[in-house]
Each structure stands twice: as structure tokens, then as C-alpha cells.
A and B are shown apart, each in its own frame.
Chain A
């Protein structure tokens, strides 16, 4: 961590366009340099081993594994890896999971580039950083009852446009059980119908687009 050395940054995102944008921002900063990029979880783990960057920008959604799982994989090997989640949506459930899994920061792609580079600098300096609007989002649902793993699965199936019967078949449970799960999901999320449940699920990062 020397002040004169540029911060070596690693970007993981499956959207090439977005990597390009992030690279443009990073390379425009005199104290930062983009050392590597990866488009999926496996590439990310390999590249990390190879370059051991100072700060990693990780997309939440990757084609082969989720960003959070990838981060956990990297951090079991390199416990001091400084990883910032960089994503489109501010779902409290995702933020919580990411922070619990050891993320140092959490920012939205839509935030101004200035904020992005600031967060990178602060995380590089050893701090943790969540923008205030995300913290508020997190606080709002702090006391909400979390969905069980099964309920998350069911919600994901609903989002896929599946009928109760299809969900039952896919998850190897009875249709009645599916209905019970859906009822609990609705209650926990405060949703009044399936669309709303899915919308809340996405908004809160319980399921991903």
C-alpha cells in the first residue's frame, strides 16, 4: 500500500460494454490502473491468482456463479482481498449478503464515476464504504423476516413464469407445498400478487434479473 504506486484494479463483469466503461473511468485516474478483466467467475478466480490486484470490482451477476459466491471463493484463498460489489440494483438482501461475505464496498453502476473512484480509494485505504442511499435501504429492511432458501427458489421459479404445477415438478415438491411457500413469500414480502412479489424480490435483491 504505497501512496505513489497506482492502485491496481481488477474488473469482473460479464458485460463487455460495461467493462469498457469502467476501464475508461479507471484509466482516466492518474492513481489507478486496470490490470485485468474477467467475464465470469472462473476467469475471475484465475485472474485474481495471477494478478493479485489491490481492489476488485465484482458484478453481482455472473454467468456461471453469483458474484457473492465468486467473492467467497477468492476470499477463502486470499483473505485480505478487497472486493467491491458493483451492480445495477440496490437490493437490501444482496447488500447484506455481500457485506456478510466480506465485501468492502457496494456501489451502483449508475452512480457518478466520481463516487466510484472515491469508493475505490477508500477501500484501498482499508476502509469499508457503502453509499448512504444503500445504507438506508439496508436499514429499512433490517428487521424483516428473511425468505428461506426454498422460498427464494420458489420465487425464482415464479419469476420464470412458471405455474404452481410446473414449480412443483421442478422442485420435486407437491403443488400444495408450493402454494404454502408462495403464501409465506407474499406475507414476508408484503406482496399482494405474484408480479409484486417478483418485483419486490428483484428490488430487494432476493432474486436477480
Chain B
């Protein structure tokens, strides 16, 4: 193809430049050797100054300068060698594909000669195994050089091709192990063209294609999963609405009605009736039930007031579960609260609420503390009590035995969070819920230019987290 292969009168291939550098390095090493041998017996004698000033100093620094200059000099010398010996040169312009010897097949081979003398002509060889065969035919070994210094002929396939610039009297060997040099003015050797599937750009294209395909499949899978999740999500929402309606129509209306009638009944009791306090308490309870039911229905979720108000949501649990004053209840917030995603705040609240209710009912402790820790990479919720702890048997038998704990764990893992229960016989219980930041928090930059990328990443990790959660659960 487009590459020109130049010879400097010696056998070269397309790696001619590398050869020049190699020569330079060899010369440089020779120079070093020379310097060392001069220097050792006489120390800093000025006799060494012959090859530049570097020899004068004895330190390693000067030695390095000397080394570099020698390398440069060597390089120059090698290049000069090429330039000064510039005799005629041969270039290939069209090179056939590399192939095993095949007497049936002929392909075109072309090139150019620079500075050829009149009467000189080209002899072509193709290499099969270790043998060079003259081309194109044993009885037509010569290729004419045209007036415009180009030459062209056909050749049988070979691993390498050689073009020799020879005089009119040259008798080329029909086959040879070593290319002749006697009577040869210039030689050029080139590798046969590689088939396209062995070209570097083809390999690169394959790699890129492969990467794109994998990425495409990945996106497709991601899209499918997202669709599936969305569908599940929408179904869930619809289901929730139906349940909410049902609750609204039956339970809530019924309780409201019962409460109304009880009110009326209580008012009709004589003022000094001993039933008054008890009925009053019942009315109060019913009021609470109605209020809770209304809140639940109204929000379709337990925490309807937005995600950043997690502290208040937790503080409200106290009233919601009817905690008395004997239990100390604290909510401690660490870090600056970040807005949580809707479903996360939902889950955090219901898991937290359940943990608080458990602590209240079963721990027998005098204090319950809820810790909300906001960090950039995660949100941590800790519910601690100073009660009796959970029976290790319950903890170990775990899942099936204790519905509440397994339910909490399941919900936590489903959203890609970590759930841990630490319990000591006298140290109370600590429940930890750790949600990775990218799952927990609303992203502020969801409209940015690279949002799709971070979204991709987040979905991916979220999905992975969910998957590992499933695996662990099995």
C-alpha cells in the first residue's frame, strides 16, 4: 500500500530507522568503552579531552554528559552513514499480500528506483520457506525500469519480496538461500501485505466493536430491568391505591361512625357516671386510630412530609406509638440532613418505626435513641435501646422465628441497604441500617450534562446491591 520502503544500499526493510538508532547505541557503547579504557590509568589527565570536554571532569555528572553526547554523536554518525552512502535506492509502491508459494497465482508488484544508471534493471524475488525464488518466471527474471523511474511486474506469492538493482551483465540465480550481493547496486526487501484481518486497524475495530456490543447489551439489559422495575412500581402504586380506597371506605368510615356514636352515648351518660373515664379513654384511642388511618391513607406512605424531615418523622413516632414519659426517647442527627429519595424515606421510616416499636415493647429498657447520620457516601440509621437485648436464639434462628426482624432485613436489602442487629444480653440492642449514598439521596445534579452517566452508575450499583442482597438472603 502507501508505504515506501527505502534501501541505503545495504539490506534494509521498513525498520530502517530502528536500525540507525541501533547503530547509534552501539557506537555510543563503543565510545563508553573507549573512554573507560583511556581514563582508568591516568585519572583526570587532560589527554582524555579529545572527545569533547566531558572527559576532563571526573564526577559521575560529567560522565553522564559525556555519555549523552556520545549517544548523540553516534546517532548523527549513523544518520550520516545513511546520507553519505546514498547510492541508488529502491522503493516498493504496490506489494502483494503475503502468502505461501503458489505457481498458479500471480499478483502485481510495483515500485520506483531513485538514482539508477541507464541499463540497470530490477530482479525480483519472492521468498517461500527459506528459499528466494526469482520472479515472475525463471525465463523472465528481469523487470525493466521505465523512463519515469518506475518498475512493475507480477510475482508469485511469498512471505517476503525482494527487488535487486542490477547491471545488464548480472546473472540472477533462479533460487537462492541468500540474496546475491555481487553485482547488485541496491536491494530492497519488504514483507508481503498482511491480509486485512491481520492488520492493526482491523484488530482495533474488533476491540471497539466488541466493547460497543457489550456496552449495547448492558444498556439494553439495564433498560429492560428499569422497565420491569417501573412496571412493578406502577403496579405497586395501583395496588396501594386500591388498598387505601378499601381502607377508606370500610375501616375508616366505620371507625369514624363508631366514634361519633360513642361520643353521643358518652354525652348522654350522667355526669357522675363511673364509666366516664374509661369511655373517654376509648374515645381518645379511636381518635388516634382515625388520625393515623387518615395520615396513612393521605400519604400512601408513612412519611408524607418530605424526605428532609426525617428527624420530625422519627420524633412523631413517639406519639404514634403512644410512648409514655417513662421511656426516654431521643433523635440525634449527625451531619447535615440531605433530602432522601421518596421510597428510601418511606422504607427508613417504616423500618425505623418497627425497630422503635420493638424496642419499646420487648426491650424493657428505659431509653431509646434514634441516630440519623448523614454522610456523603451513606445514610446511617441507628436505633439503640438499653434493654434486655434480643435472645441470641431468636437472632440466630432469625428469619422465620422473628417476623419483625426478617421483615426489616428483607426490606433493607431490597433497597440495597445493609441491615445489622447487634444485641448483648445486658447491653441492649442496636439496629443499624446503612444505605449507600447513591441509593439514599436525591441527586442534585440530575439535569447535568453527565447526569446520564451517574444515573447509569447509580442504577447499576443499586441493581447490584439488590442482587447481592437476594443472594445473601437465600
Contacts and interface: CB of A to CB of B under 8 A. Distances in A.
Q: Tell whether A and B belong to one assembly.
A: yes
B294 A25 contact: no
A17 B342 contact: no
Nearest to B233: A194
B241 A199 contact: no
Nearest to B299: A199
Nearest to B238: A161
Interface string A1-38: 00000000000000101101110110010000000000
Interface stretch (B51-59, B117-125, B246-254): B246-254
Nearest to B253: A15
Contact of A195 (B256, B307, B342): B342
Given A20-B261, A192-B442, A196-B342, A163 B254 contact: no
Nearest to B235: A161
B267 interface: yes
Contact of B237 (A17, A24, A112, A194): A194
B392 interface: no
A157 B235 CA distance: 12
A195 B260 CA distance: 32
Contact of B263 (A15, A18, A88, A112): A112
Interface SS majority for chain B: helix
Interface string B300-317: 110010010000000000
B342 A22 contact: no
Interface residues of B, number: 45
A209 B248 CA distance: 8
A17 B258 CA distance: 8
Interface string B250-293: 00111011111101100110000000000000000001001100
A163 B234 CA distance: 6
Interface string A67-98: 00000000000000000000011000000000
B239 interface: yes
B237 A28 contact: no
B230 interface: yes
Interface string B216-241: 00000000000000110111111111
B327 interface: no
B256 A21 contact: yes
A148 interface: no
B265 to A, nearest CB: 8
A76 to B, nearest CB: 29
B244 interface: yes
A162 to B, nearest CB: 7
A154 interface: no
B298 interface: yes
Contacts of B236: 161
A122 interface: no
Contacts of A160: 238, 241
Given A159-B237, A209-B297, A88 B254 contact: no
Contacts of A159: 237-238, 241
A158 interface: yes
B313 to A, nearest CB: 14
A22 B253 CA distance: 11
B118 to A, nearest CB: 78
A161 B257 contact: no
A179 B69 CA distance: 72
Contact of B260 (A25, A191, A199): A25
B399 interface: no
A25 B263 contact: yes
Given A21-B261, A28-B264, A109-B256, A161 B239 contact: yes
Contacts of B299: 199, 202-203
B341 interface: yes
A195 B299 CA distance: 9
A198 B263 CA distance: 34
Contacts of A194: 233-234, 237
Interface of B: 230-231, 233-242, 244-245, 248-249, 252-254, 256-261, 263-264, 267-268, 287, 290-291, 294, 297-301, 304, 307, 341-343, 346, 442
27 contacts: A15-B249, A20-B257, A20-B261, A21-B258, A21-B261, A22-B260, A28-B267, A28-B268, A88-B256, A88-B294, A89-B297, A110-B290, A110-B294, A112-B263, A161-B237, A161-B241, A162-B238, A163-B230, A193-B341, A193-B343, A194-B233, A194-B237, A195-B301, A198-B241, A209-B244, A209-B245, A209-B248
Closest 3 CB pairs of A and B: A161-B238, A21-B257, A21-B260
